């Protein structure tokens, strides 16, 4: 169903906390596992995850799904894993800049849908909780797609360079 510029599902259903895994039966198994992990932690706050936790919870979701993440708490570390994607699909990792495009700071989350101006991401540290939130397309740094059974040979070097911890 296509409504309000949404190519995959009705945004109203998602914003009312319906279960995306059920809303997207055509998702690949990896995406279903990652979404299920995020939804299991729906509305959890920084108290459960600490600070700088958008990357931390995404790494934990990937790990539970059997895919190595970046091992870093830095959102921009996700620019170095998986495959670069031009047109995002549900479950792809979206990386955004924060504060300034050339700063070290960023944000990452899972692509759910988009409208003309925003990407709607499922992620952590979004208003200090796990939720779906819109982010301006103008802040896009990149979109990455990881696959099941993918190995991430950059994990340890990313973690050492960025000072992140292994999830």
In DSSP terms, 143 is beta-bridged to 94
pLDDT of residue 142: 98
Q: How far apart are CA 35 and CA 29, in angstroms?
A: 10
110 CB-near residues (< 8 Å, 6+ apart): 34, 35, 38, 58, 90, 91, 92, 93, 94, 121, 122, 123
pLDDT of residue 14: 46
The neighbour count for residue 39, using CB atoms within 10 Å, is: 17
Asked if residues 145 and 152 have their Cβ atoms less than 8 Å apart, the reply is no
Compute CA distances 66 → 110, 144, 163, whole Å: 17, 17, 23
pLDDT of residue 54: 95
Specify the pTM. 0.76
The neighbour count for residue 135, using CB atoms within 10 Å, is: 20
Place of tokens 């895919």: 67
pLDDT of residue 23: 54
pLDDT of residue 15: 45
pLDDT of residue 152: 56
Asked if residues 167 and 69 have their Cβ atoms less than 8 Å apart, the reply is yes
pLDDT of residue 22: 43
- pLDDT means per 10 residues in the chain (167 residues)? 36 45 62 83 71 90 93 96 95 95 94 93 90 95 88 45 36
């Amino acid at each position: 169903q296509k409504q309000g510029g949404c190519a995959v599902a009705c945004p109203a259903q998602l914003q009312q906390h319906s279960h995306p895994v059920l809303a997207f039966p055509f998702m690949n198994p990896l995406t279903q596992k990652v979404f299920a992990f995020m939804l299991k932690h729906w509305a959890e706050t920084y108290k459960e995850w600490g600070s700088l936790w958008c990357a931390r919870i995404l790494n934990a979701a990937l790990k539970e799904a059997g895919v190595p993440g970046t091992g870093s708490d830095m959102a921009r570390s996700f620019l170095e894993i998986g495959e670069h994607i031009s047109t995002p699909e549900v479950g792809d990792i979206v990386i955004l800049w924060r504060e300034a495009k050339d700063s070290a700071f960023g944000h990452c989350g899972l692509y759910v849908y988009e409208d003309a101006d925003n990407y709607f991401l499922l992620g952590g540290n979004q208003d200090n909780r796990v939720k779906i939130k819109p982010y301006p397309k103008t802040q896009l740094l990149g979109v990455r797609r990881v696959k099941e059974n993918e190995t991430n040979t950059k994990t340890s070097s990313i973690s050492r360079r960025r000072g992140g911890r292994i999830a």
